[in-house]
Structure 1
Amino acid sequence: MSAPSPFDDDLGVLLRQLGNLVTPMAVRVAATLRLVDHLQAGTTDMAGLAERTGTDARALERLVRHLVVMGVLEGGEDGTSLRPTALGRLLADDHPAQQRAWLDLGGAVARADLAFTGLLDAVRTGRPAYPDRYGRPFWEDLSADPALAASFDALMACDGNAAYDAPAAALDWTGVRHVLDVGGGDGALLASVARAAPEVRGTLLELPGPAARARQAVAEAGLADRITVVDGDFFDPLPVTADVVVLSFVLLNWPDDDALRLLRRCADAVEPGGRLLVLDRADADGDGADRFIGTLLDLRMLVFMGGRVRTCDEVLALADSAGLTNLSARTVGSSVLPFTFSLLEFTHAAGNTAGTKGVAA
C-alpha cells in the first residue's frame, strides 16, 4: 500500500489551490501563448514551441514543467511528444468552454484580473483597485483602447443572443411600443426583444465607443430599422423616454451611490404607466457552482469597478429610494449561462410624476 501523498490533506489543498498564485499565472501565460493550440497543431517539442511563441526556451521549459506537474500537460519526457491533458484541452481556442479567451492576459478580463494584487487595498477602502494599476477607471480604459474593448465585447457576446432569449421570452410585451436599453452593450438584449415582439422598437444608449460597435452589430442583425443607437452617458439626463426602460447587468458595476443615481435617471425616463426592468446577477442561495460564480463575480466587481452583486432585497431598497415600486421579482435561468439571474419589474411610486419628457421619434 503506497503512502498517502503529502498533498492529500487540507495543507495540500491550501498549497496547490487556495494559497498559490504561481499556478493561476502559469495557466494564464499558457493561454496567452496559445500553448495548447500549438501542441494540437503538431508542435510538440520545446524548441519548436519556443520559436512559435517567441519565448526563451529554457524559461518556457520551466513553465511547462509546472504545467505537467499540475496536470495541464503531459508527456515530453524525451523533449518531444508534449500534449495537453483533458484539463489542458480547455485552453484550446476552439474549445466550446471558451476559457482561453477569458484567461488571455491581452484580453480585457484577464488583464483586469491583475488588479487583484490590490485586493487588500480594495477591501480596506471599498474602492476599486483597477484605476490604481492602470491609471483610469475600467470603463474609461475600455473606451480609450479599441483592441481592449473589442476583446471585452467578444467575451460578453459569447452566446449573447441565446442568453437573452430567456428573459425576453419571460416578459409580457403586449402593448409595448418603445424599449430604452440603458447601457445596452452590443444590443444583444434588444435583439432578443425584437425577436420576441416584432412590433416593438428600441433605443440603445451607450458611450461613444460601445455605441459605434452596437450600431454595427444591430446593422449586421438586420435590425437597424427597429433599433436606434444613441451616444450618451447614463448619469446625465437620458435623451429619450420609453414605456419600458431596461437596465441589463449594469447595476452590479456600480457602488450604491452611483447605482441610486442611475435608477433615478431611469425612473425619469419611464413614461407614466410604464415599467423599468432590471436584469441582474441573482445573489441567491443556489448550488455550489452558482454560489462560487456569484462570489467570483462580486469580488471582480469590487476590484474592477467598485460595484457589487446585490441581493434582491438590496436592489428593491435602492429602487424604493429612487421613487420606484416593485411589480414583480423572479429568478430566470439560461441554457447557455452557468448561473441564474434576477428579473425585477418596477413602476413609478404613487404620486411620482417622473417620466414627463416627450418620446423621441
Structure 2
Amino acid sequence: MNEHNIAEIRNLAGLATPMALRVAVTLGLPDRLRGDGAAVERVATDLGVSPVALGLLLGHLAALGIVERAPTGYRTTDYGATLCSDADNGLTNFLHLDMAGGRAEMAFVELLHSITTGEAGYSRRYGRDFWADLARHPHLRESFDRQMTHRFRDQIPRLVAGYDWDRFSTIVDVGGGHGTLLAAILAANPRVRGHLVDLEPTATEAGRTFSAHQVEDRVQVTARSFFDPLPEGAQAYLLCDILHDWDDEHAHRILARCVAAVHPAGRVLVVEPVGGRHDNTEFDLAMLVIFGGRERRVDEFRTLASAHGLVLDTVIDLTDQRCLLEFRLAGTG
C-alpha cells in the first residue's frame, strides 16, 4: 500500500480547506483581521457567530498561512491578503457564498446528479436554474456581471488585436455583458459601429462603459434576451463565452436567432474555450454542473452550426484560453 498516494488523494478529496476558505471570505475575515488583527471573541461578537467554532476556523486558516497568531489574537498575512475584497483579483466573487461565483460553485455537491443525467446540478440544489436565480436576486446578477468583466480584463487586448474586426461595418455583441469587449473593439476600429444586446440592468451598465470609452456615438444598446429576435442586418454577430453556458437545445435557439438576423454575407463569430484546444477540465465540469453546458470541440461546433446552414470557415487561437470560430452562411463566400 502506497501511503504517499493515499495521503495525496485524501488531500485532493478533502473538503475542509475549500470550505474554510469560502467561509472565511463570506465572513470577511481577511479584511477584518488586517493590520494588528483582532481577538477571536471580539470578531465572533461582531459577526454573531460562535467564538469556539470561529477559533477552530482561524486555527485551520493559520495552518494554511492565511492568518497568523498575533498578540491581539489573529491577523491576516501578506499571503492571506490575496483574499481581501479590494485585492481586485476575482477571488472574492469566486469564493463568497452569497455571490454568483461562490454560490454556483456549491452546485458541485450535485455533480453525481449531473453525471447521471447530463443536466445541471444548480437547479437541483437551489430549486431554479442559474439564470432564473440571477433574475430573482439582483445582487447575484450584479456580482456575476462583475465576475465576467474581471475575467475578460486581461485578455481583451489580445482578443482585439488577434482578429480583423475592421472588416465589419457593424457588429452585434450578443449577450455582451457590461460591454468591455465591444467597447475595446470599437475604440481600436473607428470605422466599426456596434450594437450590444443583454438583459437589464446589465444593458444600462454597458451604456456607461461605452460612454467611458468615448464610443457611445457608434453603438446602440438593446435590453433584450438573446432568445428573442436580434437586431437585424449586421455583418457580424458575436457570441463571446455564451454557447458553453447552454445545453445543445438552447445553443440551437441562440444560433437560430443569429442566423435569422445576420446579413446574407455576414458572419457569426463564436469566442470561447474549445475542447481539445484551450479547455480546462475543472472548468468543463463547472460548465456542466452549473449550466448543463460544456466546452465543445471543433467538430461539435461544426455539427451544431450546420443545422442552421452555417459553415465553419476558420478557427483562430486568440489567447491561451479562447479561440474564435468564424461561421458563414452556406452558399456564400
Q: Assess same fold via TM > 0.5.
A: yes
- Structure 1 position 307 matched with structure 2 position 302: no
Of 260, 283, 306, the residue aligned with 1:297 is 283
CA RMSD of aligned residues (A): 2.3
Q: Is the 8 A contact 1:301 1:309 kept in 2?
A: yes
SS in 2 for 1:93: coil
Partner of 2:214: 222
CA displacement at 1:8 relative to structure 2: 7.4
Cα displacement string for residues 116-164 of structure 1 (whole angstroms, at most 9, x for unaligned residues): 2211111111111112222222112212322111111112212645422
Cα displacement string for residues 204-238 of structure 1 (whole angstroms, at most 9, x for unaligned residues): 11123322332333334333222111122222332
Distance in 2 between residues matched to 1:8 and 1:33, nearest whole Å: 36
Amino acid at match of 1:189: L
Percent same amino acid among aligned pairs?
A: 37
Of 325, 332, 338, the residue aligned with 2:318 is 332
Q: Is the 8 A contact 1:143 1:209 kept in 2?
A: no
SS in 2 for 1:273: coil
Note the residue ranges of structure 2 that are not aligned, 5 or more in a row.
none
Count of residue correspondences: 332
Of 60, 64, 69, the residue aligned with 2:63 is 69
CA displacement at 1:86 relative to structure 2: 5.1
CA displacement at 1:110 relative to structure 2: 0.3
- Structure 1 position 203 matched with structure 2 position 218: no
Distance in 1 between residues matched to 2:6 and 2:82, nearest whole Å: 27
Q: Is the 8 A contact 1:264 1:323 kept in 2?
A: no
Of 216, 224, 247, the residue aligned with 1:255 is 247
Of 100, 115, 118, the residue aligned with 2:107 is 115
Amino acid at match of 2:80: G
Note the residue ranges of structure 1 that are not aligned, 5 or more in a row.
1-6, 334-338, 353-361
Cα displacement string for residues 286-315 of structure 1 (whole angstroms, at most 9, x for unaligned residues): 6xxxx6xx1222111111111111122221
Partner of 1:88: 80
- Structure 1 position 22 matched with structure 2 position 53: no
Amino acid at match of 2:37: T
TM-score of the superposed pair, with normalisation by structure 1:
0.84
CA displacement at 1:111 relative to structure 2: 0.9
Cα displacement string for residues 33-79 of structure 1 (whole angstroms, at most 9, x for unaligned residues): 22122222322321232234332211100111222234433335x7x
Distance in 2 between residues matched to 1:210 and 1:143, nearest whole Å: 11
TM-score of the superposed pair, with normalisation by structure 2:
0.91
SS in 2 for 1:240: coil
SS in 1 for 2:235: strand
Cα displacement string for residues 262-281 of structure 1 (whole angstroms, at most 9, x for unaligned residues): 22221222212111111011
Distance in 1 between residues matched to 2:141 and 2:236, nearest whole Å: 28
Distance 1:94 1:194, change over 3 A: same
